[in-house]
Each structure stands twice: as structure tokens, then as C-alpha cells.
Amino acid sequence: MRIPPWSADALLGIAVTGTLAAVISARQGGDVAPGPIAYAWAVGLGALMLARRHHPRAVLLTSAFGLCAYYAVGYPAVGVGVPLAAALFSAAEAGFLRWSVLTAAGVLGLSLMFRLLEGQSAAFVVGYDLITHVTLMAAAIALGDGLRSRRAQRELQLRENLSRVREERLAIARDLHDSVGHGVSVISLHVDVAREAVPPGNEALDEALLRIRQAADRTMSDLRGAVGVLRGAVSLDDLSPVLDPARTAGFDVSVRVAPEARELPELVDAAAYRIVQEAVTNVLRHASSASRVSVSATVSAGLLHLTISDDGPPDRNPPRERYSGHEPADNGAPAPGSGMATAGSNTTGADNGATAAGSGMGGTGHGLAGMAERARALGGALRTRHGAEGFTVEAELPLVRTA
């Protein structure tokens, strides 16, 4: 089982404190007998290890100055390598090799100077003691830098592997889109042509063709989802690529994505993202008199509710488009399972003509019809409202596909 980083740091801190406390208790030299403050210093040096991952340079410098302060008081000798080894290792592991080397050299230089000024034997200090400390500190720095180097190598290898996998997935996605996607589109086209040629009164044939069309739509939806996953799925959790162009164009953009709308099934998430993308593109292309764009995504009763609106009447002559989705009830009530009011709005239905606010939505579909197709493929519904307050696109997508 992998030890959590904070646990490893705590264990390292305990080891530092225990080692220093043992060395202090040995009372090797010193003008002042070690008391509570000396042991508190050992605890403090160990506690610094808890911050070594986030502030390695601060830990290193604090340890070095703390060691100097310890010796300035006159406490027993604890060396310079043992107190600083963990801090030097941490800084080198974090990529601050120069800081580790310079700090070690500075502390060793100060230690050598003061010991020689105190009259200690130069042969002993330089020939034995200094070599011991240099070896310990160099080993700590080398170990930290080696771990950093191996980690960087693993990360580089991982990035290369991910890049190769992504290239392979993109190649598969292109093949699916170009071959299977084209074939399903041709099927849908011919079915639509065949339905137009069905003689009146032949409901059974029309129903059979309709079922083929619906099956083709579901297949296309699944294909889009598979291609989206292969290409790297888009999500409502990150709408920046969709909304940044609107912000750049000077629109006041407001976004409200409920927490539960950030964890959706992949197909629903991808369809919702594309609906928002096409709706916002429509605003940029056709609603030049608008100044505000708002996007809302909430979840209730097993449905994802999307609302994309602007505050200005679009400046174009709307054509009529055909939509697909839940059939509205005759009395203006929402369709079963849709939960959407239809009064004063254009609701998507299999046989409904709706006043569209332009068809040149751009994005990855074909305007409002493309958005409606995405909603229909998941068993959802889409409607538009065009009034004095602006233009609104509303969609409901079941979290579990019903179509």
C-alpha cells in the first residue's frame, strides 16, 4: 500500500527529531548544557519536514539559520550534515539543486571558519570531520536530485505514451466518422426520401420507415458519443472554449452549472456541450444587438435542464425549421416526461413547425435542427422562445436515454 505523502513527511520529521535529540543528549562539547529549548529546536527542525513539499527553499533556509542560531547559543555539537540532510534532500528533490549546493557550501564554510578560529586541529577538521559532513550532505543532495530526475523521466515517458494513445484514438475516431458515420447518414437520407414517397393511407410502411429513422438516429448518437470519447470528451464542467469567444466579443456572459450537472453520463454531457456551443454560436452570428448571454444547467427528476439565452431580439428574418422531440399536448401542457411548458413557445415535436431564430448556428451540427436532433436522439426535447426579452433555447435531456 502506498504511503500518503503527508504520512511520509511526518515520519521523516520524526526521524529528524529523534536523531537530533539523541545527538544532543550525548553532550559532545558545548558551553551550555542542553535544556528544553535545545530539544524544542530539534522538534522544530523535524516539524519543518511537513512543509518540505510546498516550501522546500523556505524549509532549507530556515533549517540553515536555525542551525546557526543553535551553535550561537553554545549548545553541544550536532554536526552540520545530520541537521541539514533532510532539508537538502527535499530542496534537491523539488528541483532546487543550486539552492541545496550553495546552502551546503555556505554552512560548511562557516563551520570550518569558526572551528579553525576556535583553535581546533586543522588536520582533524579538514582531514576527517569535514569529509564526513561533506559526504553526508552530498549524498542527501544526490539522492534528492536522483529521485527528481527519475520522476521527470517517468513523467516524460507517460506524456509520450499518452500522446501516442491520443494519436491512435484520433485515427480511430476519423475512421469511424468517415466510414460508419457517412453510412448512417446515407441511410437516414434515403429513409427521409422514402417517407416522402409513401402513399397516403399506408401508415404501416410509414411507421416502419420511422422506426428505421429513429434507429439510425440512435446509432448516430452512439457514434457521436464514441467519437467524442476517442477524441477527448467535452463536458459542461469546462465551457471556457465555448464562452470565451463571446466574452472576447464584448458580451456579458453568466454561467450557472449546478454541481450535479458536472457529473453526467458521457453521451448526455457531450450532447449538452454541443447544444450550448451551437446556441452561443447562434448568438455571436445573428444577435448583434444583444449584450448578454446566460447559460444555465441544472438537474431534477432525472433530467438535465439547459437554458441558453440572450437579451436582444435577433436581427434576422427567421425561417421555419422542423424539430424532433417530445410531442406537446394539445392543451398546451408539457409532453409526458418533458416537464416543459409550451405556452408561448416553440416546442420541438416530430410534426411541429417552429419559428427558428435562424438556421446558421454553426458549431458541429446544423443550427436549431442539429440541436433538436441531439436532444431527440437521447429521448429529450428542445424548444425556443423569441420575445421582447430576447431569444432563449431550452433543452431537456434524460440522464437515462428513453428513445
Instruction: State whether 12 and 116 are in the same domain.
Output: yes
Instruction: State whether 249 and 391 are in the same domain.
Output: yes
Examine residue 33 and state whether it is found in any structural domain, yes or no.
yes
Instruction: State whether 275 and 364 are in the same domain.
Output: yes
Instruction: State whether 264 and 341 are in the same domain.
Output: yes
pLDDT on residue 135: 93
The span from the CA of 378 to the CA of 403, in Å, is: 6
Instruction: State whether 37 and 147 are in the same domain.
Output: yes
pLDDT on residue 136: 94
pLDDT on residue 321: 37
Examine residue 25 and state whether it is found in any structural domain, yes or no.
yes
The span from the CA of 282 to the CA of 267, in Å, is: 23
Instruction: State whether 89 and 197 are in the same domain.
Output: no
pLDDT on residue 283: 85
Instruction: State whether 378 and 312 are in the same domain.
Output: yes
pLDDT on residue 94: 93
Instruction: State whether 320 and 386 are in the same domain.
Output: yes
pLDDT on residue 335: 36
Examine residue 175 and state whether it is found in any structural domain, yes or no.
yes
pLDDT on residue 316: 44
Task: Give the residue numbers spanning the domain of 298.
Answer: 240-398
pLDDT on residue 99: 96
Examine residue 338 and state whether it is found in any structural domain, yes or no.
yes
pLDDT < 70 stretches in the chain: 1-2, 28-31, 162, 228-229, 231-233, 288, 313-366, 401-403
pLDDT digits (tens, 9 = 90+) for 328-342: 333 333 333 333 333
Residue 388 CA, distance from chain mean position: 38
Examine residue 403 and state whether it is found in any structural domain, yes or no.
no
Q: Taking the model in full, what pTM does it have?
A: 0.50
- Out of 183, 208, 231, pick the residue that ends a domain: 231
pLDDT on residue 98: 96
Instruction: State whether 139 and 252 are in the same domain.
Output: no
pLDDT on residue 256: 92
Instruction: State whether 266 and 223 are in the same domain.
Output: no
- Out of 125, 157, 189, pick the residue that ends a domain: 157
Instruction: State whether 145 and 18 are in the same domain.
Output: yes
**What's the total number of domains in the chain?**
3
pLDDT on residue 95: 93
pLDDT on residue 271: 86
Instruction: State whether 182 and 310 are in the same domain.
Output: no
- Out of 111, 139, 157, pick the residue that ends a domain: 157
For residue 375, what is the domain's CATH number? 3.30.565.10
Examine residue 145 and state whether it is found in any structural domain, yes or no.
yes
